[in-house]
Amino acid sequence: MVKVAVIGAKGRMGSTVCAAVQAASDLEVVARLDAGDAINEQSLAGASVAVVFTVPSVKLQNVLDLLAAGVHAVVGTSGWADDELDQVRAAQKKSSANVFIAPNFALSAVLAMEFAAKAAPLFESVEIVEMHHPNKVDAPSGTAVATAQKISQARKQAGCEPMPDATEADPQGARGSRYAGVPVHALRLRGMTATEEVLLGNPGEVLTIRTDSFDRESFMPGVLLAVRKIADTPGVTVGLEHLLEL
């Protein structure tokens, strides 16, 4: 029986994680922590793994506290900068615990990212549109940033030419942001949960790779997979594709 703590337990994702862990025969929720709760050995109540779904502003400190307590961290909070990941890696080297961070735990989203990276060198143009509910506090999504990075790396390795774009004036930013050179557009719409489209264009054709999550249940198989595997996944790992051996 793996004992699990949930950080951000009162949130939409956190409460879904609590229910999924409790429903698993080999897992048990032993601590439910939220804003204002200390993260230490006492409050973690013997957990060996903690699942973190909090807000971006506190995610780094959450993970550092878990490493200090010697508890493995499975992190779904997005918005990780390179310097923050460097701090996590440095702290992890001094801890007995491992860290797993996923931009997205939905299997369809992970596959969509991999498909997009495979296809990107074969098309002249690539753009990303991500659509989420209006309560999401960060933009663009961590999934969109990770997708852009994978696409950029694949195109660079293939020696692709820069993507065509004759735009000379865009004072209001209508062309979106660029991450790793890839245009990313973030929509926040009531009624949405989580959707990403990668549009790839050549003369006379467009390929659209789309993933939709209609319910937070879609993330739970990936979360539970990470909880079960993190003890045997040393160091700091970013991306569910590593656990799926893609």
Residues belonging to the active site? 132, 136
Helices and strands (H, E) in the chain, number of each type: 7, 11
Tokens of 230: 């993190």
101/219 Cα distance (integer angstroms):
13
CA dist 167 and 185 (Å) reads 16
| 50 contacts 100 by C-beta, under 8 angstroms | no
Q: Cis before residue 140, ω within 30 degrees of 0?
A: yes
What sign for the dihedral angle of Cα 109, 74, 186, 213? positive
